[in-house]
Amino acid sequence: MKFEREMNIKRKSIRVRDISISYLIKESEEETRSVLIFLHGFPFNKNMWLPQLDDLPAGCTAIALDIRGHGNSTRGHGFFSIDLFAQDLLAFIEVLELKNVVVCGCSMGGYIALRAYEFAPSAFSGMILNSTHSFSDTNEGKAKRFETIETVLQYGRRTFSINFIPKVFSEKSIQAKPDAIRLIKSSIRRSSEVNICSTLLALASRTDTTALLSTFRLPVLIIRGEEDTIVSHEQCMKMTELIPDVKFVEMVDCAHLPNLENSTRFNGEVRNFLISKII
User: Can you give the CATH number for the domain in which 208 is found?
Assistant: 3.40.50.1820
Residue 68 has pLDDT above 50, yes or no: yes
Q: What burial class does residue 158 get, using C-beta atoms within 10 Å of its C-beta: 0-12 exposed, 13-18 middle, 19+ buried?
A: exposed
- Using alpha carbons, select from 167, 55, 44, 172 the residue that is nearest to residue 105: 44
- Under the banding of pLDDT at 50, 70 and 90, the label for residue 3 is very low
pLDDT at position 17 is 97
Residue 4 has pLDDT above 80, yes or no: no
User: Alpha-carbon distance 166 to 231, whole Å?
Assistant: 14
6-12 contacts at long range (C-beta below 8 A, 24 or more positions apart): 7/53, 7/54, 8/54, 9/50, 9/53, 9/54
Whether 102 contacts 35, CB under 8 Å: yes
Q: What burial class does residue 37 get, using C-beta atoms within 10 Å of its C-beta: 0-12 exposed, 13-18 middle, 19+ buried?
A: buried
Whether 246 contacts 221, CB under 8 Å: yes
Number of domains in the chain: 1
- Under the banding of pLDDT at 50, 70 and 90, the label for residue 2 is very low
How are beta strands 246-251 and 220-225 bridged, if at all?
Answer: parallel
Range of the domain at 36: 2-277
Whether 213 contacts 246, CB under 8 Å: no
User: Alpha-carbon distance 264 to 44, whole Å?
Assistant: 21
- Using alpha carbons, select from 130, 118, 134 the residue that is nearest to residue 247: 130
User: Alpha-carbon distance 181 to 192, whole Å?
Assistant: 19
- Span 234-253, average pLDDT: 98
Residue 5 has pLDDT above 60, yes or no: no
pLDDT at position 7 is 67
pTM: 0.96
3-state helix, strand, coil in the chain (%, to 5): 50, 20, 35
What digits encode the pLDDT tens for the residues 147-169? 999 999 999 999 999 999 999 99
